Amino acid sequence: MAMRVGIIGAGPSGMAQLRAFESARQKGADIPDITCFEKQSDWGGQWNSSWRTGLDASGEAVHSSMYRHLWSNGPKECLEFADYTFDEHFGRPISSYPPREVLFDYISGRVAKSDVRKYVRFNTVARWVSYDEKAEEFTVVVEDLANQKTETHVFDKLVVSVGHFSFPNVPQFDGIDSFPGEVLHAHDFRGAERFAGKDLLLIGSSYSAEDIGMQAHKMGARSVTFSYRSAPMGFDWPETAVERPLVTRFEGRTAHFSDGTTGEFDAVILCTGYLHKYPFLPEELSLKSRNVLYPGNLYKGVAWQDNANLFYLGAQDQYFTFNMFDAQAWFARDVMLGRIELPAEADRAADIQQWLDRQAALPDHDSEADFQTDYVRELISLTDYPEFDLDSVCSLFKQWMRDKEEDILGYRDNIHRSVMTGTMAARHHTRWLNAMDDSLQRYLNGPGQDIDTGNLAVLAQESQLSAK
């Protein structure tokens, strides 16, 4: 009987696993029987986002935390697949910071091309997993949401690729229960238009706070106040934005901060991160971690230390994304196919520990980028995933951080060169701050489309805005 592989989740990580097996098949390898369960009706994970919050049409928790007007927050040159470039997909250079729909199109294009959709059971949610030590088999109970049917599947290997930016971390603050305005978590944020003219408080000081805050500024919020627990982000904010230390309590609309200052707000957004949560896994198989670059108990960040038949993809905090998921998926594939032999438990533990020790000593963001670069480099060296210039990608991450320090509202207008193809990105037709339509069509056609339809007034307006 062929080996049976189960994959839970068809976001970028699960798609990478499908692509990894397909790549081996194309090179003549026998590949296992693969079934991937995806609770949504399409693949793409976070990138498959909609207006919905709370529950989706099947009554399942909405997975994606992305929102309207979400443009890539890092250069696309850092996440490009080594085996499917932006040039190949779009046939011409595009800008370095595309909006969500453009990246969704890119990741979908690669897997559509390799015909792996047939492995995915959409609208099917994993409910419970158990492991039989003796038979060395996983039993996975899933629900077919469209037909409301429960099924049981048995696998020799299991890949967990459900992401970890979906279950909001929602701390309590004194007095917040009687705050008279809207209170929401970033997971439920879908667009900043309604905050025009409002005073907004964002609690948290990482990617979500930064991006939602600048979205709100772009959409005309009267003021944006960030409240940090550990350290301010320290960007050169527009005049509407300010950073304060942590909120200690609310009194009506008034927030009190730990430095003794106060502010009155119309709405509060908790940008307080996400929980690693795997409700379909028993405790002994379930990763427990904060959002860190190297969660413990995973050999090479992928293979579960207590059960070498279980793999996690994308469980790390991420500088690298799509191409790191590839490197992980290629590694997991080769372990499953027996091409890579896992060392003894004690050696694996020692390997994990040296990464954890190094992580504990990371002094700054530049060293974090170095750390994850070295991690990806090691994985790639172990498989036939196409090698690429990781040092250049790492330099680009550092450049990106400098660019943000220089101009938090303008860094997305910068362009970079592809490490994979050498192609220089195209400058986008509209500056990020002025771009009010984030659709794929507008992105690709832009003012050119207006010329086609003879709408020169729109074109003139766009170029005036672009020139500002």
Query: For residue 161, how far is the Cα from the chain centroid?
Result: 12
| Contact present, 210 and 235 (Cβ < 8 Å) | yes
* 65 binds ligand FAD, rule: CB under 6 A: yes
Minimum separation from the CB atom of position 73 to ligand FAD (A): 4
> Smallest gap, in angstroms, from Cβ of residue 168 to ligand NA7?
9
Residue ranges binding ligand NA7 (CB under 6 A): 73, 165, 169, 171, 186, 203-209, 229-230, 246, 271-273, 291, 318
Binding partner of 372, given ligand FAD, ligand NA7, none, CB within 5-8 angstroms per partner class: none
At 299, which amino acid appears?
Y
Considering beta carbons, is residue 81 or 257 the nearer one to ligand NA7? Answer: 257
Which C-beta is closer to ligand FAD: that of 126 or that of 201?
Answer: 126
In the numeric block, which tokens belong to residue 126? 């994993």
Which CB, 257 or 397, lies closer to ligand FAD?
A: 397
Nearest to 21 by CA among 312, 308, 335, 324: 335
> What gap in Å lies between CA 87 and CA 439, rounded to an integer?
19
SS3 at position 355: helix
Contact flag: residue 210 with ligand FAD (CB under 6 A): no
Cα three-residue angle 118-120-121, rounded to 5 degrees: 115
Q: Is 126 in the site for ligand FAD (CB under 6 A)?
A: yes
Smallest gap from residue 31 Cβ to ligand NA7 (A) = 31
Q: Which does 12 bind (CB under 5 to 8 A by kind): ligand NA7, ligand FAD, none?
A: ligand FAD
Q: Which is nearer to ligand FAD, 318 or 414 (CB)?
A: 318
Identify the residue among 6, 7, 9, 215 touching ligand FAD (CB under 6 A).
Answer: 9
Minimum distance from residue 239 beta carbon to ligand FAD (Å): 26
Give the list of residues 6+ apart from residue 379 with CB closer than 8 angstroms, or none: 300, 301, 302, 324, 327, 328, 330, 331, 385
**369 is a contact residue toward ligand FAD (CB under 6 A):** no
Q: Coil, strand, or helix at residue 280? A: coil
Coil/strand/helix, residue 416 = coil
**Contact by Cβ (8 Å): 108, 43:** yes
Q: How far is the CB of 291 from ligand NA7 (least distance, A)?
A: 4
Distance CA 171, CA 182 (A): 16
By CB under 6 A, residue 74 contacts ligand FAD = yes
Tokens (6 digits) for 374: 């070295």
Q: Does 116 bind ligand FAD (CB under 6 A)?
A: no
Q: Contacts by 84-87 with C-beta closer than 8 Å and gap 24+? A: 84/109, 84/110, 84/113, 85/418, 85/420, 85/421, 85/423, 86/418, 86/421, 86/423, 87/418, 87/421, 87/423
From the list ligand NA7, ligand FAD, none, partner contacted by residue 32 (C-beta under 5 to 8 A by kind): none
Q: Residue 184's beta-bridge partner residues?
A: 269
Rule CB under 6 A: is residue 270 a binding residue for ligand FAD? Answer: no
Per CB under 6 A, which region of 34-42, 335-343, 363-371, 434-442 contacts ligand FAD? 34-42
Cβ distance to ligand NA7 smaller for residue 169 or 328? 169
Q: Measured from the CB atom, is 32 or 75 closer to ligand FAD?
A: 75
Structure token pair of residue 20: 């990894």
Given ligand NA7, ligand FAD, none, residue 8, with its beta carbon under 5 to 8 Å by kind, binds ligand FAD
Are the C-beta atoms of residues 424 and 415 closer than 8 Å to each other? Answer: yes
Residues lying near ligand FAD in the complex (CB under 6 A): 8-14, 37-40, 45-47, 63, 65-66, 72-74, 79, 125-126, 161-163, 165-166, 280, 314, 318, 321
